[in-house]
Chain A
Amino acid sequence: DAKTTQPTSMDCAEGRAANLPCNHSTISGNEYVYWYRQIHSQGPQYIIHGLKNNETNEMASLIITEDRKSSTLILPHATLRDTAVYYCIVRVASSSNTGKLIFGQGTTLQVKP
């Protein structure tokens, strides 16, 4: 299984961009990078996913390096409500992994006033 490495914790000032890195050096060509976040006592919230190209939606941008070995999730203007644990997940495309997301420990992002 492709594994991901994320920093344990990060701080960000309110109103500034939050850039969350993720390393996935063993990723294969057909495996997607997904980002979720989890605010205390809630279920994980889907943020964004991508394969090769950079992606943007109303919540965030996902930048994937050309060699696909790392990615960065960007929250353009962080607010206090963005304080959460952020999970970077590589979705392994095999028949034994249907419906399965493998969560690591994630990055705890603390947005400060």
Chain B
Amino acid sequence: KAGVTQTPRYLIKTRGQQVTLSCSPISGHRSVSWYQQTPGQGLQFLFEYFSETQRNKGNFPGRFSGRQFSNSRSEMNVSTLELGDSALYLCASSLGTGFNQPQHFGDGTRLSIL
């Protein structure tokens, strides 16, 4: 069974630009969560989507947004990029939203802001 696929793997942008990252969950998984990982802050939760609806959101500014499509694929968008947005962005999928259902992570998109 294919794992979580994130594209692109690497991305370089400049300040002020916007970026869209893509995530394809494991087949049959309907919940997708996004995380940001930086050396200083570690892994931090961004948001979760289930059935095309955002169910939970972390403590990030409105420049960070996402959506989920009917096939459960998800995208996240960051507008007006700042140097501090340089990070590894991780997507995780799970069958549903139950707390007994593990999340499975992709290998992330490494975003560098110049």
Contact = CB atoms under 8 A, between A and B. Distances in A.
Interface of A: 30-32, 34, 36, 41-46, 49, 51, 91, 93, 96-105
> Secondary structure at chain A's binding surface: helix, strand, loop or mixed?
loop
B45 A100 contact: yes
Given A32-B100, A98-B97, A99-B33, A105 B45 contact: no
B64 to A, nearest CB: 15
B90 A100 contact: no
A49 B102 contact: yes
Interface residues of B, number: 28
B107 interface: yes
A85 to B, nearest CB: 10
A49 B102 CA distance: 8
Contacts of A100: 33, 45, 48, 56, 58
B31 A99 contact: yes
Contact of A102 (B4, B45, B50, B107): B45
Contacts of B102: 34, 46, 49
A104 B107 CA distance: 19
B99 A32 contact: yes
Contacts of B94: 99
Nearest to A48: B102
A96 B90 contact: no
A91 B48 CA distance: 15
B112 interface: no
